[in-house]
Amino acid sequence: MCIFCKIVKGEIPNQTILEDEDFLAFNDINPSRKIHVLIIPKEHYDSFDVIPPKIMANMTEFIHKVASKLDIRKSGYRLITNIGNDGGQEVAHLHFHLLGGEEVGRLVR
Ligand code: 5GP
Ligand code: ZN
């Protein structure tokens, strides 16, 4: 079982920001910004590349709720998902990195 599935099962502790029946948001163990939250579906999908679009629609709504709870919708934030080897993905369970709480800087040049 993958590490994020273990987090979903409660076998590995996490600092939960928000949770519902289908999704979980928790602090990254090694934060790269003041706010660094990981948002995952509870069901295992290897990456964004294989998530059914209808589930992604629900996940979008959940991500909005996380950003609201963190009160960063006005100040802004960055949402990243790494996909596969070339995308630099380390944990093969779909997750979005939500970064904010400060200016996170330019990413794409
Ligand atoms: P990736 O490189 O796959 O996009 O990102 C994986 C992220 O998962 C990294 O930012 C890493 O710090 C985080 N991470 C890895 N293991 C754990 C863990 O056990 N708990 C938490 N909260 N984050 C983890
Ligand atoms: Zn998993």
Residue 109 reports pLDDT greater than 90: no
* Mean pLDDT of the residues in the chain: 97
What is the model's pLDDT at position 106? 87
Q: Which region holds residue 59: left if phi is over 0, alpha if psi is between -120 and 50, else beta?
A: alpha
Alpha carbon of 45 to ligand 2 centroid (Å): 7
Kindly state if the Cβ of 14 falls inside 6 Å of ligand 1: yes
Catalytic residues: 95
Segment 53-71 mean pLDDT: 98
**Per-residue pLDDT tens digits for 89-107:** 999 999 999 999 999 998 8
Distant-in-sequence, close-in-space partners of 91: CB < 8 Å, separation ≥ 6: 2, 3, 4
Kindly state if the Cβ of 89 falls inside 6 Å of ligand 1: yes
Of all ligands present, the nearest one to the C-alpha of 95 is 1
What is the model's pLDDT at position 75? 98
Residue (of 12, 35, 37, 33) closest to 23 by Cα position: 37
**Per-residue pLDDT tens digits for 35-59:** 999 999 999 999 999 999 999 999 9
Alpha-helix runs per DSSP H in the chain: 3-9, 53-69
Reported pTM: 0.97
Tell me the C-alpha to C-alpha distance, in Å, between residue 23 and each of 19, 60, 64, 75.
6, 10, 12, 24
